[in-house]
Amino acid sequence: MSRIPDSPEEIFVPLIQDYLRVFAGELVSLIIYGSAAGGLYIKGKSDINLLVVLTPAGMDKLPQAFSLISQWKKRRVAVPLVLTKKFIAVSLDSYPIEFLNMKNSHILIYGENVLEKLEFQHDNLRLQIERELRGKLIHLRQGYLEAEGNGRKLRKLISASFTAFISIFNALLYLKKGSAPQGRRETIKEVTAVFAVDTEAFSNCASIKEGVDKFSRKEVEEIFGKYVREVENICNIVDAL
């Protein structure tokens, strides 16, 4: 039961069976999202993100799922995001980026596809994109001061922050074009082309995130500086939209 899967598909059937055993007819949907749905799953490193949609009555059964969730955590299934259809419907103005990214990269493994027909308002999406970008920019600058030029700490800061920027970039492309790619590298290529920012800055960050680079400490410092400058450039672009 505790073996980490080689691929997310290995766990779909037993995962469905376990959730049906607990929630039965109160289970509306089971949906995989994030890296496990976008072809970026790495055994032993990636968590498998799960959206569980229940009826309101199903929410009352959550205490019965404690053991289930604990067991699946051993197989790298993260603590699930548990929502109702109504909660999703009324939250699109508050969390458009999160739901947009789930819509753009997900695998329905059981029940109703509650993400498929979601629609997002331009103003709500633009406002959250700007808020998230500026918040992340503040975080990067604070992290830089805390790192005090330490290359290892700057690597860690880049790696920890970069996934969030890919999600924001996908939302930005959706805002501009009505669609967005799924892959990390494809997103970088498209967002830098559409908004005329430095591709290399973000491609180098992707290499650090993926653990495939051989950058020196000095190079990491330079990459971090470009990273922050280009994020600021995108903040200004979004502000002008």
**CATH level 2 (architecture), domain 8-111:** 2-Layer Sandwich (3.30)
Indicate the average pLDDT of the chain.
93
Q: Name 89's Cβ contacts closer than 8 Å, sequence gap at least 6.
A: none
On the question of pLDDT at 1 being above 90, the answer is no
The CATH number given to 122-240 is: 1.20.120
Would you list the domain boundaries of the chain?
8-111, 122-240
pLDDT single digits (tens) 31-53? 999 888 877 787 877 889 999 99
Instruction: Give the separation between CA 58 and CA 117, rounded to whole angstroms.
Output: 23
Q: What is the pLDDT of residue 183?
A: 81
Q: How confident is the model at residue 146 (pLDDT cuts 50, 70, 90)?
A: very high
Q: What pLDDT is attached to residue 2?
A: 64
Tokens 């799953």, residue located:
41
State the pLDDT confidence band at 191, using cuts at 50, 70 and 90: very high
| Model pLDDT, residue 179 | 85
Whether 8-111 and 122-240 share one fold: the answer is no
